[in-house]
């Protein structure tokens, strides 16, 4: 992943770290040489002044050592800064490339996936992973650098006494195992608590966001939400506190063992210097490299276990990338018929939402003929929206089949099928974009075609809304960004309906995006819809019979099946549910 993000930066980072890795031993070695040289020189009968010493030929070697150590110090500073800079850039590139990959992968997945709570948990963990855990890369590279330093320092120690290293490692193993154990515990806690964490985020957002502020204020919901947040977060806090306390307690014990090992070795070094086996320079070199080794190894062992913990989290990211969509195009898809000749046919179609016991649609059979305008009516939950989703292959039926011009919908290319549909759902998205872009999303490739956007706006009556905006088509709408202007519910709907006209759709579908339109607007919108869909298939869903009656044919849905079908007049004559619902509504106006 790092390589894919930026090969050049990655190589630069590794090269710099390799250089940094060998600097400590070089600095220590020159330190030792300087001290031994000073000890040697101070035993000589030399000049009495500093200037004399500086000019004396005996001290030339010392000068050289000093210059080398100074050079090393400057180099080390430069390397640290440039490698910090490169790592920061690389981490940013990695965050960008992972986030892009995450977005691209999410786009391939099924709607069904997004509605699944477990999937949302995983998505949440993957999302955190893509932005918050990029330290992992720095850690891994740091570990490589430290390992090289350890190898060089250990090489130095080995020359003096191999036992010293064994002592050091033995002292650190318990600490390492302890860390690994507590990291695994933290991960398990985080993993198991993902649903709660999502709920926490949800509650916090509901209590403090522009979308909910109105209702939260009116209903006085803040104390309820705050309490809920407190209760949920309290139990998470208690669980993570227990782990943190245990970690601190055991960690202190293990560090004590490490310190004992260190001082045993230190005592040996001092003893050997006193008995003359080691020089004073050796003493500083060994004590320095020992101290350094100890902190390096300690750091390394801890970072190994925390890398392992991070890798556990990374698993979620890769797990997310492994989720595969089920609604796919066949290997050799049929070309989309242009124009559609016969139309769509539902044959005994049954569909159950994932995890649901009840069938949302069952034994549904009907035809949507080419060029026909079909209205769907039925009470709430009758299955109207589900039918539309099945038509666009947002879901595949569990039973029966849907045919387009006599061939199963699954034989066509999904993308081609969807791009032939102009659907506006009742819960269409209110994009915080300009008015023009809010319409252009219907066919984003034609975003720069202002004439097309304006024509679409005229057709849906959105042009009148846009005329009233301070910056017209370039007006930012929605309240999220500066200079944004909020629209009324009906005004938003007119803008959304224009999206359907942006497409060269074979099938136009309005799934009740007109509920907030005033009576005159809805009438006009539907009348235009009918005119503009002439020669194309169209489906409209509305609870207003004044609009529904404009359709060529009406399907009455009930309990996920087609109960009756016919023209407005035919259905009234049957005196069934349609006539009953129509009468109910008509009575309200009398």
Ligand X SMILES: Nc1ncnc2c1ncn2[C@@H]1O[C@H](COP(=O)(O)OP(=O)(O)OP(=O)(O)O)[C@@H](O)[C@H]1O
DSSP state of 412: B
Which structure tokens are listed for 87? 């790592």
Q: Is the link from the previous residue into 339 a cis peptide, with omega within 30 of 0?
A: yes
The least distance separating ligand X from the CB of residue 113, rounded to whole angstroms, comes to: 12
Q: Can residue 382 be called a binding residue for ligand X (CB under 6 A)?
A: yes
Interface with ligand X (CB under 6 A), residue from 294, 384, 536, 577? 384
Minimal distance in Å, beta carbon 312 to ligand X? Answer: 32
The verdict on 167 binding ligand X (CB under 6 A) reads no
Q: Can you name the residues that pair with 541 across neighbouring β-strands?
A: 376, 511
Q: How far is the CB of 515 from ligand X (least distance, A)?
A: 9
- Establish if 383 lies at the interface with ligand X (CB under 6 A): yes
Residue 570 in contact with ligand X, rule: CB under 6 A = no
Q: Report the residue number, 229 or 359, with the smaller CB distance to ligand X.
A: 359
Among 303, 385, 432, 558, binds ligand X (CB under 6 A): 385
Within 402-512, residue ranges assigned H as helices are: 414-419, 435-440, 450-459, 462-467, 489-502
* Cα(309)–Cα(350) distance, integer angstroms: 45
Distance CA 289, CA 17 (A): 19
Binders of ligand X among 310-369, rule CB under 6 A? 353, 356, 360
The distance of closest approach from Cβ of residue 409 to ligand X in the complex, given in angstroms and rounded to an integer, is 18
Q: What are the beta bridge partners of residue 373?
A: 538
Candidates 235-243, 320-328, 376-384, 476-484 — which segment interacts with ligand X by CB under 6 A? 376-384
CB of 191 or CB of 353, closer to ligand X:
353
Contact stretch for ligand X (CB under 6 A) within 126-134, 186-194, 380-388, 561-569:
380-388
378 counts as binding ligand X under rule CB under 6 A: yes
Q: How many residues bind ligand X (CB under 6 A)?
A: 12
Using CB under 6 A as the binding rule, whether residue 118 contacts ligand X is answered as no
**Does 381 help bind ligand X (rule: CB under 6 A)?**
yes
Give the residue with the Cβ less far from ligand X, 339 or 489.
489
Q: What is the rounded CA–CA span in Å between residue 497 and residue 516? A: 12
If you write DSSP's letter for every residue of 268-308 in order, what string do you get?
Answer: HHHHHHHTTSS-HHHHHHHHHHHHHHHHHHHHHHHHHHHHH
Report the distance separating Cα 495 and Cα 485, nearest Å. 14
Q: Is the CB of 386 or the CB of 438 nearer to ligand X?
A: 386
Min separation Cβ 240 and ligand X, Å: 33
- State which of residues 58, 77, 115, 504 lies at the interface with ligand X (CB under 6 A): 115
**Shortest CB 111 distance to ligand X, Å:** 8
Q: Which is nearer to ligand X, 72 or 111 (CB)?
A: 111
As a whole number of angstroms, the distance between CA 246 and CA 175 comes to: 13
Q: How far apart are the first and last CA of the chain?
A: 68
Using CA atoms, how far residue 555 sits from 100, 368, 370, 568, in Å, is 43, 10, 16, 10
Distances (CA, A) of 551 to 377, 484, 496, 516: 11, 37, 21, 20
Smallest distance from the beta carbon of 508 to ligand X, in angstroms?
Answer: 18
Q: What's the CA gap between 511 and 538, in Å, rounded?
A: 11
Stretch that binds ligand X, among 66-74, 374-382, 438-446, 529-537 (CB under 6 A): 374-382
How does strand 561-566 pair with strand 361-369? unpaired
Shortest gap between Cβ of 362 and ligand X (angstroms)? 11
Judged by CB under 6 A, the stretch of 193-201, 204-212, 317-325, 382-390 that binds ligand X is 382-390
Q: Under a CB-based contact definition with an 8 Å cutoff, are residues 28 and 288 in contact? A: yes
| Least distance in angstroms from the C-beta of 395 to ligand X | 9
Q: Number of C-alpha atoms within 13 angstroms, CB side, residue 333?
A: 14
- In terms of CB distance, is 253 or 355 closer to ligand X? 355
10 makes contact with ligand X (CB under 6 A): no
Helix-helix angle 194-207:210-219, to 10 degrees: 70
Closest CB to ligand X among 178 and 397? 397
Minimum distance, C-beta of residue 383 to ligand X, in the bound complex (Å): 4
Q: Which is nearer to ligand X, 62 or 364 (CB)?
A: 364
Which tokens sit at 475? 């007006």
Query: CB-wise, 104 or 380, nearer to ligand X?
Result: 380
Minimum CB separation of residue 465 from ligand X in Å reads: 25
Nearer to ligand X, 288 or 378 (CB): 378
C-beta closer to ligand X: residue 322 or 427: 427
262-300 burial, b for 16+ CB within 10 Å, e for fewer?
A: beebbebbeebbeeeebeebbbbbbbbbbebbbebbbeb
Using alpha carbons, select from 286, 332, 38 the residue that is nearest to residue 160.
286
386 counts as binding ligand X under rule CB under 6 A: yes
Would you tell me which residues interact with ligand X (CB under 6 A)?
A: 115, 353, 356, 360, 378, 380-386
């Amino acid at each position: 992943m790092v390589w894919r993000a930026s090969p050049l930066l990655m190589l630069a980072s590794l090269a710099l770290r390799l250089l940094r890795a060998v600097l400590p031993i070089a600095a220590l070695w020159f330190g030792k040489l300087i001290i031994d040289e000073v000890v040697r020189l101070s035993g000589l009968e030399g000049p009495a002044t500093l200037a004399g010493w500086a000019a004396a030929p005996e001290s030339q070697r010392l000068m050289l050592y000093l210059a080398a150590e100074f050079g090393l110090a400057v180099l080390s500073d430069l390397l640290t800064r440039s490698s910090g800079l490169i790592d920061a850039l690389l981490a940013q590139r990695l965050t960008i490339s992972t986030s892009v990959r995450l977005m691209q992968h999410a786009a391939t997945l099924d709607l069904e996936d997004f509605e699944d709570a477990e999937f949302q948990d995983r998505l949440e963990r993957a999302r955190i992973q893509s932005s918050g855990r990029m330290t992992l890369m720095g850690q891994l590279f740091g570990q490589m650098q430290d390992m090289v330093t350890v190898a060089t320092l250990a090489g130095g120690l080995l020359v003096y006494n191999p036992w010293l290293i064994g002592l050091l490692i033995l002292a650190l193993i318990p600490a390492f195992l302890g860390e690994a154990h507590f990291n695994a515990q933290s991960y398990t806690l985080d993993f198991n608590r993902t649903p709660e964490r999502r709920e926490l985020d949800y509650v916090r957002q509901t209590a403090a966001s522009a979308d909910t502020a109105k209702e939260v204020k009116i209903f006085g919901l803040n104390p309820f939400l705050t309490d809920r947040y407190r209760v949920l977060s309290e139990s998470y806090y208690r669980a993570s506190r227990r782990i943190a306390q245990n970690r601190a307690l055991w960690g202190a014990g293990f560090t004590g063992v490490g310190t004992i090992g260190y001082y045993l070795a230190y005592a040996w070094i001092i003893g050997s210097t006193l008995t003359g086996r080691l020089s004073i320079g050796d003493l500083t070199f060994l004590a320095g490299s020992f101290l350094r080794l100890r902190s390096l190894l300690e750091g390394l062992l801890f970072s190994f276990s925390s890398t392992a913990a991070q890798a556990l989290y990374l698993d979620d990211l890769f797990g997310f990338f492994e989720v595969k969509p089920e609604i796919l195009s066949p290997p050799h898809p049929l070309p989309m018929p242009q124009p559609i000749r016969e139309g769509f046919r539902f044959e005994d179609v049954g569909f159950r939402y994932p995890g649901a016991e009840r069938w949302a649609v069952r034994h549904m059979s009907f035809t949507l003929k080419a060029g026909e305008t079909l209205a769907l009516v039925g009470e709430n939950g009758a299955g109207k929206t589900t039918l539309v989703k099945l038509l666009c292959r947002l879901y595949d039926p569990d039973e029966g089949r849907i045919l387009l011009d006599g061939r199963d919908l699954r034989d066509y290319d999904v993308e081609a099928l969807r791009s032939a549909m102009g659907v506006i759902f009742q819960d269409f998205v209110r994009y915080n974009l300009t008015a023009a872009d809010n319409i252009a999303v219907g066919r984003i490739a034609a975003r720069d075609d202002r004439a097309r956007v304006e024509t679409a706006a005229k057709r849906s009556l959105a042009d009148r809304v846009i005329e009233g905006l301070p910056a017209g088509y370039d007006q930012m709408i929605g309240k999220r960004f500066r200079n944004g202007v909020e629209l009324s519910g009906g005004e938003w709907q007119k803008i959304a309906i224009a999206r359907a006209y942006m497409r060269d759709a074979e099938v136009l579908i309005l799934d009740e995006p007109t509920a907030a339109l005033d009576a005159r607007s809805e009438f006009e919108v539907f009348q235009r819809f009918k005119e503009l869909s002439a020669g194309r298939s169209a489906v409209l869903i509305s609870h207003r019979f004044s609009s529904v009656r404009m359709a060529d044919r009406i399907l009455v849905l009930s309990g996920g099946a087609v109960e009756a079908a016919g023209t407005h007049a035919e259905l009234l004559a049957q005196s069934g549910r349609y006539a009953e619902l129509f009468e109910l509504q008509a009575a309200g106006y009398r």
